[in-house]
Structure 1
Amino acid sequence: MYLFLLSWLFILSFTVGLSGALSPGPLLVVTVDSSLRRGWSGGVLTVFGHLIVEVPLIIALAYGIGNAINTESVKMSVTLIGGCTLLALGSYTAYTSRTPRRARLLETLSASSTSVHAERSFSWRPIFSGLIATTTNPFFWIWWATIGLTMLTYASLFVMANVNPPIYWGTLSLLFNTLLSPLLWQPSYLLYSFIFSSILPQFMFQSIDFNYLFLGSTLIGWGIIAIGHFSSDIAWYTSVSLAVARGKQLLSAKLYQAFTFVCGLILILLGIWFLVSFISPSLTS
C-alpha cells in the first residue's frame, strides 16, 4: 500500500509538472535556440540550468518560504527584473543570429562526424541560458508558490503529519545526543539494555511527539514529488531538443538564421509583456 501511494505521488507530480513544462515560455525558447546552436545536448544542458534554480527552491518551499514568495511586492520585483533581462537576452540572441561565423554555421548544420563532435563538446552557455530563462520568468515563481506548494503540502497530508522539519530533526538530534551517543563512546551491553528497556521508552513518551516521527515519510514524499517533477521537465525538453536537432540537419543556413532570430524576437516580446504587466497589471490580467 505504501509503495502504491508513493507511485501515485510520482505519477501525480509528473503529470502536474508536465502541464507546466508544456506551457510556452522563456525556457522553451532558449532550449530551441541551444538545440539549434549545439545540437540536442545543448537543449538538454539548458534543462540543467533550470534545475539549478528549481532544486533549492523546492527545499526552501518545503521549509515554509512559500508565503514570502507569494506576495505582490516579490511578484512585481521579479516581473520587472525578468522583463529587463529577457529584453537583453532576446536582443543578444537576435543580434548573434544575424552575424554567425560561416565556419561555425556550416559545422552546426552539417551531419558529418565533425558536427557530432561539436554537439558533444561541453559548454556552460546552455546551462547559463536555462538558469537565466528560469530565474527571470515570474510565472515560474508564481507556479511554485501556488501549484508547487500545494503539491508539497499534499505530501504531508499523505502521511497525516504536520510539516515541521526543524522540530523533526531537532527531536532526533536530542534523542541521539542524550541517549545514544554514550553508546558510541563506551559500548556496554548492560548500558545498552538499560537505555532501551527503561530510559528510552520513558524519554520517548514524555519528550517526543510521535506525529513528527512520521515526518520521515513526508521527506520521502517530498523527494518523490521532486523526482516526478524533474522527470517531466527532462522528458519534455529532451524530446524538444531531439526534435529540433533532427530538423536542424534539414535547415539551410538562411533558415537557421531565421529560426534563431525568431527565438530572439520571442524573448524580446516576452520581456515586453512582463514589463507591461509591471506597469499596468490590468492590461495582462
Structure 2
Amino acid sequence: MNLLAFYGFITVISLSGVMSPGPLTAFLIARGRQSPWAGIWVTLGHALAEVPLIIALYAGLQPFIEIQGIREGVSLLGGGVLIYLGSGVFRSFRAAAPEQKSVLQCNSLTGGVLLTLLNPYWILWWLTIGASLIARTSEFGWLAGLVGMTVVHLLADAAWAVFVTWSSNQGSRMIGETGWMRIEQGCAWVMLGFGVFFVYDGLMGVLA
C-alpha cells in the first residue's frame, strides 16, 4: 500500500467511525444552532483528548490502557456524566426563560473533550481499529506515517463535524423555536440513553 492509498484508507475508516450515531453527534447537532462552525471547536476539543492517546499507543502504552478495570471505570464515569449532561438540558427547560431554554450546559471545546474522554467505545476503537492503523504507520516513518495519519484522521473528523453543525444551523432557521426545542430534547434523550447504556455496560464488566 502506497502513502496516498494509506491516507485514503484512513479517511474511509475515520468517517465510518465518526459518522456513527452517538452522544458526540447529538452534541454537534445541538451546538450547530449557536454557530455553523461549532464543529471546528468540537473537533479541537476532540483532538485535545485524542492526540495524547495516539502518542501513548505509538509509544507502546497499549498494555497499560488494557488493564482490567480501566474500561469499566471509564464506562461508569462516562455514563454518569452523560446522564448529568442530558438531564441538565431538561433542567434548563424548566428553570430558564423561554429564549434561554435551548442552551446546553457546556461550550463546544469543553464538550468535545468530555464527550470524547468519557466514551468507552472511543477507547475501544483506538485499542482495536486505531491500533492497527498506528501499526501500519511504521511503513512510512513517523512524519508521513504517524503525523500524517493523525492529521488525515482529524481532518475527516472536522469535515463531518462541520457538516453536522452547518446543517443543524441551516435547519434551525426553518423549523422555528418550538421545533428546535424538540430537536434539543431529542439530543438530550440520546445522551441519557447512551449514559444509561455505558453505566450498565460498566456494571456488567465489574460484576463479570
Instruction: Identify the residue that residue 3 of structure 2 maps to in structure 1.
Output: 6
* Separation of aligned partners in 2, 1:249 and 1:92: 24
* Separation of aligned partners in 1, 2:101 and 2:200: 36
Alignment length (residue pairs): 204
Question: In the alignment, is the contact (CA less than 8 A) between 1:70 and 1:146 conserved in 2?
Answer: no
Q: Are residues 271 and 103 of structure 1, via their aligned partners in 2, closer, same or farther at CA, if it must alter by over 3 Å?
A: closer
* Separation of aligned partners in 2, 1:233 and 1:55: 13
Q: Deviations over 1:90-111 (max 9, x none)?
A: 11123224555345579x9xxx
Q: Are residues 99 and 249 of structure 1, via their aligned partners in 2, closer, same or farther at CA, if it must alter by over 3 Å?
A: farther
> Structure 1 stretch 92-101 or stretch 11-20: which is displaced more?
92-101
Q: Are residues 101 and 45 of structure 1, via their aligned partners in 2, closer, same or farther at CA, if it must alter by over 3 Å?
A: farther
Instruction: Identify the residue that residue 259 of structure 1 maps to in structure 2.
Output: 183
| SS of residue paired to 1:24 | coil
* Separation of aligned partners in 1, 2:100 and 2:85: 21
Instruction: Identify the residue that residue 33 of structure 1 maps to in structure 2.
Output: 30
Instruction: Identify the residue that residue 152 of structure 1 maps to in structure 2.
Output: 134
Percent identity between the two aligned chains:
25
- Residues 1:60 and 2:42 are matched in the alignment: no
Q: Deviations over 1:134-177 (max 9, x none)?
A: 11100001111111111010111x25xxxxxxxxxxxxxxxxxx
Unaligned runs of 5+ residues in structure 1 are 109-123, 160-216
Normalised to the residue count of structure 2, the TM-score between the two structures is 0.89
> Structure 1 stretch 146-155 or stretch 273-282: which is displaced more?
273-282
- Residues 1:274 and 2:195 are matched in the alignment: no
Q: Deviations over 1:8-50 (max 9, x none)?
A: 22111111111110111111111111112x1212233212111
Q: Are residues 133 and 6 of structure 1, via their aligned partners in 2, closer, same or farther at CA, if it must alter by over 3 Å?
A: same
Specify the code of the residue in structure 1 equivalent to 2:111: S
Q: How does 1:141-220 map to 2 (within 5 A)?
A: 141-156=123-138, 158-159=139-140, 217-220=141-144
Question: In the alignment, is the contact (CA less than 8 A) between 2:30 and 2:184 conserved in 1?
Answer: yes
Q: How does 1:59-98 map to 2 (within 5 A)?
A: 59-98=55-94
> Structure 1 stretch 65-74 or stretch 146-155: which is displaced more?
65-74
Q: 2:161 aligns with which of 237, 241, 245?
A: 237
Larger-gyration structure (1/2): 1
Unaligned runs of 5+ residues in structure 2 are none
| SS of residue paired to 2:21 | coil
Instruction: Identify the residue that residue 188 of structure 1 maps to in structure 2.
Output: none
Q: How does 1:90-129 map to 2 (within 5 A)?
A: 90-103=86-99, 125-129=107-111
| SS of residue paired to 1:280 | helix
